[in-house]
């Protein structure tokens, strides 16, 4: 088994707490041989934790010829330029989300990766979340009938005051948290077609100048309507997923899911009544029937935890792609559609996202 030599640019919450800790503690398929961060304390910690070389500036990596993959965990506003620089220098790149804020920048990265014959992967690991896989499994089974609407909520209540609340750093809920539910939503909607988009943004609890309350509605012919909410103003919890179907429905959180449905062949036969409906005694009646409900439930019994589970699936997929030529399950072209939707959301809210 080939062990992929990795350099991580950035030792913040993403570079260290997500990528660094997972690779160091949970996989033998990747090895951290270099880490980059402009903050001295973070470099020293990386050297101690990974037993690797450390650098202040990522361009110092260009002296090396032993890197199979570079993870771009720089702040969001640096993703495009750093990724392009790495690709042009001949490195395979795994970029953190958001890949970009504009479609034209995604196109530049896709084009550059193809010209350099390098891998461009994006860390959209939520596609592999066990609860999302279960939602998709139930929907695909057909027991819920035609899916009418899907509600996706990545919300809670909390104030933020870090750099990810600033428009100048490509901050805000839609580019920060939003890529996770948006990737899931578009994979359910279908990446083959640009949906009709409605978006409302607001600034509520944030101390920065970017949005922290977002509602997005995706619509398309012969597709379910998908309602995506990313908010820091939801004090009362809501299921991550609520699915509406013609034969039943489903709710799901990160740890459990439940669904119920009826089978048409077991349901009472009804006919449309154009005249007022009455009870046996002649008094007015409301449509009422007894349906036989079938119920299902799922619980995540995995011991890895959500974040490690998603990371394991993503990194295993990436390793197979880089060593065996297996296809990327999350492609730059799919992420391009996501950025296309996000860019449209920003255009619809110039009062919030004007630059």
Residue ranges per structural domain of the chain = 4-123, 127-304+336-353
Residues 103 and 339 sit within 8 Å (Cβ to Cβ): yes
Distance of alpha carbon 53 from alpha carbon 66, whole angstroms: 12
- In angstroms, rounded to a whole number, what is the distance separating the alpha carbons of residues 329 and 144? 26
Residues found in the chain: 355
Strand partners, 35: 8, 54
Burial class from Cβ neighbours inside 10 Å (0-12, 13-18, 19+) for residue 129 reads buried
Give the 3-state secondary structure of residue 105. helix
Query: DSSP characters for 176-198?
Result: HTTHHHHHHHHHHH-TTSPPEEE
**What is 127-304+336-353's CATH number?**
3.30.360.10
pLDDT, tens digit, 9 for 90 and up, residues 105-161: 999 999 999 999 999 999 999 999 999 999 999 999 999 999 999 999 999 999 999
Local confidence pLDDT in tens for the 355 residues of the chain? 799 999 999 999 999 999 999 999 888 999 999 999 999 999 999 999 999 999 999 999 999 999 999 999 999 999 999 999 999 999 999 999 999 999 999 999 999 999 999 999 999 999 999 999 999 999 999 999 999 999 999 999 999 999 898 898 999 999 999 999 999 999 999 999 999 999 999 999 999 999 999 999 999 999 999 999 999 999 999 999 999 999 999 999 999 999 999 999 999 999 998 988 888 888 888 988 899 999 999 999 988 889 999 999 999 999 999 999 999 999 999 999 999 999 999 999 988 777 5
The two domains 4-123 and 127-304+336-353 share their CATH topology (first three levels equal)? no
Contact 149, 224 (CB under 8 A): yes
Cis peptide before 98 (omega within 30 of 0): yes
Sheet holding 294-299, edge to edge: 196-202, 213-219, 225-231, 147-153, 241-245, 248-252, 256-261, 294-299
Q: Model's pTM, two decimal places?
A: 0.93
> How far is C-alpha 35 from the geometric centre of its chain's CA atoms?
25
Q: What is the pLDDT of residues 237-269, one digit of tens each?
A: 999 999 999 999 999 999 999 999 999 999 999
Report the alpha-carbon distance of residue 218 to residue 187 in Å, rounded.
12
Which of the four CATH numbers 3.40.50.300, 3.30.470.20, 3.10.129.10, 3.40.50.720 does domain 4-123 have? 3.40.50.720
- Angle subtended at Cα 120 by Cα 119 and Cα 121, rounded to the nearest 5 degrees: 110
């Amino acid at each position: 088994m080939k062990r992929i030599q990795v350099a991580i640019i950035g030792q913040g919450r993403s570079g260290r707490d997500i990528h660094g800790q997972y690779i160091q503690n949970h996989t033998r398929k990747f090895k951290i041989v270099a880490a980059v961060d402009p903050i001295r304390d973070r470099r020293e910690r990386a050297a101690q934790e990974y037993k690797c070389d450390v650098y202040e500036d990522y361009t110092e990596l260009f002296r090396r010829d032993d890197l199979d993959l570079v993870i771009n965990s720089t702040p969001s506003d640096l993703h495009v330029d750093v990724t392009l620089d790495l690709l042009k220098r001949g490195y395979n790149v795994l970029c953190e989300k958001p890949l970009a804020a504009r479609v034209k920048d995604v196109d530049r990265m896709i084009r550059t990766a193809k010209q350099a014959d390098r891998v461009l992967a994006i860390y959209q690991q939520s596609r592999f979340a066990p609860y999302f896989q279960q939602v998709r499994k139930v929907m695909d089974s057909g027991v819920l009938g035609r899916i009418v609407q899907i509600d996706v909520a990545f919300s809670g209540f909390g104030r933020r005051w870090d750099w990810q609340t600033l428009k100048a750093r490509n901050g805000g809920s839609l580019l920060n948290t939003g890529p996770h539910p948006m990737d899931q939503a578009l994979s359910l909607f279908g990446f083959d077609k640009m949906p009709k988009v409605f978006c409302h943004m607001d600034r509520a609890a944030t101390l920065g100048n970017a949005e922290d309350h977002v509602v997005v509605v995706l619509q398309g012919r012969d597709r379910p309507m998908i309602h995506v909410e990313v908010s820091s103003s939801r004090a009362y919890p809501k299921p991550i997923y609520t699915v509406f179907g013609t034969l039943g429905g489903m709710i799901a959180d990160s740890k459990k899911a439940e669904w119920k449905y009826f089978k048409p062949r077991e349901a009472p036969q009804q006919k449309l009544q154009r005249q007022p409906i009455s009870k046996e005694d002649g008094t007015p009646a409301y449509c009422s029937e007894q349906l036989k409900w079938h119920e299902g439930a799922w619980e995540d019994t995995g011991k890895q935890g959500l974040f490690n589970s998603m990371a394991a699936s993503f990194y295993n997929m990436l390793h197979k792609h880089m060593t065996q030529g297996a296809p990327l399950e999350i492609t730059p072209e799919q992420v391009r559609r996501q950025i296309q939707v996000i860019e449209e959301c920003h255009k619809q809210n110039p009062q919030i996202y004007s630059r």
